[in-house]
Amino acid sequence: MEAPLPDIPHYLLIDATTGERIAWVPAPPRTTVYEACVRSGVRLATRCRGSAVCGLCRVEVLEGAEELPPRQPDEEVVLGDVLDQEGGERLRLACRIELPNGVHRLVLGVRPEDRVR
């Protein structure tokens, strides 16, 4: 039996391929998904360390996307052609999104190739 999810604002990371839970990550105010993962020891792929340059920290927003502000132009540029692929409309950069006020959690899919073990 899986442990219950916490009753604090958090990100729930799941494997985008298998649907299995990877981790839940506390979401402090004004902290990006990428920063929250680093603080919690969850390693997302990166070369730019959260500067919205490399595009490796992409995540698929599976729940809560409607609560997020639209992508900024730099996020669109970095994600580039992957936005045209199937499911591309759900892709965001973990280093550019954070939990909006009043939202309890975001469910994010992480592709195996975008995760460091």
Footprint of ligand FES (CB under 6 A):
34, 46, 48, 50-57, 78, 93-95
Q: From the CB of 23, what's the least distance to ligand FES, in Å?
A: 17
Nearer to ligand FES among residue 65 and residue 104 (C-beta): 65
Nearer to ligand FES among residue 40 and residue 104 (C-beta): 40
Nearer to ligand FES among residue 22 and residue 33 (C-beta): 33
- DSSP state letters, the chain: -PPPPPSSSEEEEEETTT--EEEEEE--TT-BHHHHHHHHT--B--SSSSSSSS-TTEEEEEE-GGGSPPPPHHHHHHHGGGGGSTTGGGEEETTT-BPPTT--EEEEEE-GGGB--
